Amino acid sequence: MIKIQRYASKELGFDLNPALAECITMSIVVWQAKVEAELVGLFGLIPPTLLSSQAYLWLHTTPAWDEHKFILVRFSQRMMEVMLAEYPTIVGHCHIENERAIRWLKWLGAVFHEPVGVKVPFSIRKK
């Protein structure tokens, strides 16, 4: 069973690497995904301003994500509907060689743009 908990950015209560901690701090909302009691991922949205119609999506997965990827992809599609209800455009980027992330983003409806160095920007728009 997947359990998603919504947190204010400062309520997670465990040590994080600096880049992930910065994403959490800048996020307007953070979700923690667990299967049973095991953490499989964290994700959140960072809008450029409080009145923006778009937000930046970030995702951090643990090794346990791959063990549950099929159910997590379906759940991610439902969560994307929630995100797009709040922000009609979701943007982000991923590493050009991260095939797993690119495949996941395609399932979520991402359109990819020209790479910038080793990063590929994407956007997902409300239909």
Range of the domain at 100: 2-125
Q: What is the pLDDT of residue 1?
A: 43
Q: Is the pLDDT of residue 93 over 90?
A: yes
Q: What is the pLDDT of residue 21?
A: 80
Q: What angle do CA 93, 32, 62 make, to 5 degrees?
A: 65
Mean pLDDT, residues 67-72: 82
Instruction: Identify the CATH number of the domain in which residue 37 sits.
Output: 3.40.630.30
**Number of domain units in the chain:** 1
Q: What is the pLDDT of residue 24?
A: 85
Tens of pLDDT, residues 8-34: 444 454 556 788 888 888 888 888 888
Instruction: Give the C-alpha separation, 126 to 85, whole Å.
Output: 8
Instruction: Give the C-alpha separation, 21 to 10, whole Å.
Output: 9
User: Is the whole-model pTM more than 0.85?
Assistant: no
